[in-house]
Amino acid sequence: MPSDQKPTRAPERGHRVAQVRKRAGLTQQQLAERVGVGRVAVARIEAGTVPSVALALRIARELGRPVEALFGGER
């Protein structure tokens, strides 16, 4: 991403990730460790920062949900 471009935000999608993570019984730290990032990265995603495609796929796989269900525009 160019340095002058801000990350895309999608708070409703972040909220979905948080809900599914909590239902799975995972803390932000546990999910972060399982997908190979720091806890702050998970917190940012749950706050609405859109992750890379690779990270979105790892999170979806870990939570057992289709990536579209977590990060797509539709519920």
Per-residue model confidence (pLDDT) at position 3: 46
Instruction: Enumerate residues 6+ apart whose C-beta is below 8 A from 44.
Output: none
Full-model pTM: 0.83
Domains of the chain in start order, with CATH, are 11-68 (1.10.260.40)
Sites in the chain below the pLDDT cut of 70: 1-9, 73-75
Q: Could you give the angle at which helices 53-63 and 28-35 cross, rounded to 10 degrees?
A: 120
> Which of 38, 35, 29 has its CA nearest to residue 63?
35
